[in-house]
Chains A and B, each alone.
Chain A
Amino acid sequence: MSSIEEKLWNYIDGNCNADEQQAISLLIERDEIYRRKYKELLALNAEFSAMELDEPPMAFTYNVMEQIRAEVALKPLKTTIDTRIFKGIAAFFIMSIVALIIFALSQVDWSAGQAVNFKLPEYKMPDTAGLFSGPAFEIFLFFDVVLGLYLSDAWLRRKKAVKAV
């Protein structure tokens, strides 16, 4: 590493302190070798500064923004929704349920010690035996099976297509 060049580069870049700067200025002024080298490095520095930047393709910005737009669109909905909203709703329901339980418990007459004798009211169940037999029920079942097959086929096709992508 040439110490003259190193000193001069530091001087050109402005990386030396005031004393060093003064000392190098004097050397450039008085020493022919320093002066010549300084001029050479100064020219080189100007040349390096004038280097040209490369130009990206015309559609560069457009491509970047398209990629960003696609990424934003692909982002699953659950990541874009603030989880605090979910937590807030959950807290509201939990508090309502707890308040309801507390209210219900406060209304109970705990002093009532005698055995409770409940009797459910009499209810006659409707006769459904006729509904699950006959041609109408068979047609309904057949339609359900066909619909089930159609929907599962559609679901499998969609799953296969997603896998292929």
Chain B
Amino acid sequence: MQSKLTDIELIEQTLAGNQSAYADLVRRHQRFIFTLALRFTKSREDAEEVAQDCFVKAYRSLSGYQAQSKFSTWLYSIVYTTAMTHLRKKRLDTDSIDDEATFIQIENKPSGYDADNVENKSRSYYLNKAIEQLLPDDATIITLFYKGEQSLDEIAQALGIEANTVKVKLFRARQRLKEKLERSLKHEAKELI
């Protein structure tokens, strides 16, 4: 029954002292928040830490949430700042992720799949691999747009930038993703031949 409640109703229940309502909110948004955190951190352990931190921070400041924007948009802005702080702490050089050398290195990794398994690799697998190779900002915008059901304005609000900038960034991110996906698929086709 709880799962049919809206985010706002669950927030009201949480603020009234019902912690299980917040657990429902976490369950509802955890997959997306975790994926978003993973887009930034590129490691499951770090993503788990960031996503957990994000939900705890959201709980702490839940009373300050004003329903002017969607709860998810508010939550994404927290993931963004939490992930940024985490990356800063870890002194991760994000530029190197998009480095051509890194890309080639990733591409040339010996494949753990044999000929039979190759058939099982779906395009979605390659898509996820290509997203992993994108810059965190590009990967986040793509994920927010396609999986977060967020409009350009909402993405702009979550990332603290202009809607027009989001539009341009989304266009560029799609271009890069398309290139990486094509390169990845071409490489796989060569391997098969």
Partner-B contacts on A (CB < 8 A)? 1, 5-6, 9, 15, 44, 47-57, 60-61, 63-65, 67-69, 71
Residue of B nearest to A67 (CB): B56
How big is chain B's contact interface, by range?
35 or more
Whether the pair A63, B52 counts as a contact (CB closer than 8 A) is: yes
Q: Is B46's CB within 8 Å of the partner chain A?
A: no
What is the interface of chain B, defined by CB distance below 8 A to chain A?
19, 22-23, 26-27, 30-32, 34-35, 38, 44, 47-48, 51-52, 55-56, 59-60, 123-124, 127-128, 131, 142-143, 146-147, 152, 167, 170-172, 174-175, 177-178
Q: Is the CB of B174 within 8 A of A9?
A: yes
A60/B146 contact (C-beta < 8 A), A68-B56, A68-B59 known: no
**From B174, which residue of chain A is reached at the shortest CB distance?**
A9
CB of B134, distance to nearest CB on chain A (Å)? 12
Most central of A49, A50, A51 by chain B CB within 10 Å = A51
The 7 A-B residue pairs with the shortest CB-CB distance in the complex, in nearest-first order: A56-B34, A53-B35, A54-B35, A64-B55, A53-B31, A61-B26, A48-B146
Residues in chain A near residue B38, CB distance under 8 A? 54
Verify B147–A68 contact, CB threshold 8 A. Answer: no
Please give, as numbers and ranges, the residues of chain B lying within 8 Å of A63 by CB-CB distance.
52
- Contacting pair A68 B22 (CB below 8 A): yes
Q: Known interface pairs A64-B52, A64-B55, A68-B22. Does A52 touch B124 (Cβ–Cβ under 8 Å)?
A: yes
A79 to B19, CA, bound (A): 19
Extra contacts, 12 of them, besides A15-B152, A54-B47, A67-B56 (Cβ < 8 A), are A1-B172, A15-B167, A44-B178, A48-B142, A50-B124, A51-B127, A51-B143, A53-B34, A54-B44, A61-B23, A61-B26, A65-B26
* 20 pairs of residues in contact across A and B, judged by CB atoms under 8 Å: A5-B175, A6-B171, A9-B170, A9-B174, A49-B146, A50-B124, A51-B128, A51-B146, A53-B34, A53-B35, A55-B31, A55-B34, A60-B30, A60-B48, A60-B51, A60-B52, A67-B52, A68-B22, A68-B55, A69-B19
Contacting pair B31 A48 (CB below 8 A): no
CA–CA, A84 and B132, complex, Å: 53
List, in ascending order, chain B residues with CB within 8 A of A56's CB.
30-31, 34, 47-48, 51
**Closest chain A residue, CB of each to CB of B56:** A67
Alpha-carbon distance A67/B54, docked complex (angstroms): 12
Residues of B within 8 A of A60 (CB): 26, 30, 34, 48, 51-52
Is A47 touching B123 in the complex (CB atoms < 8 A)? yes
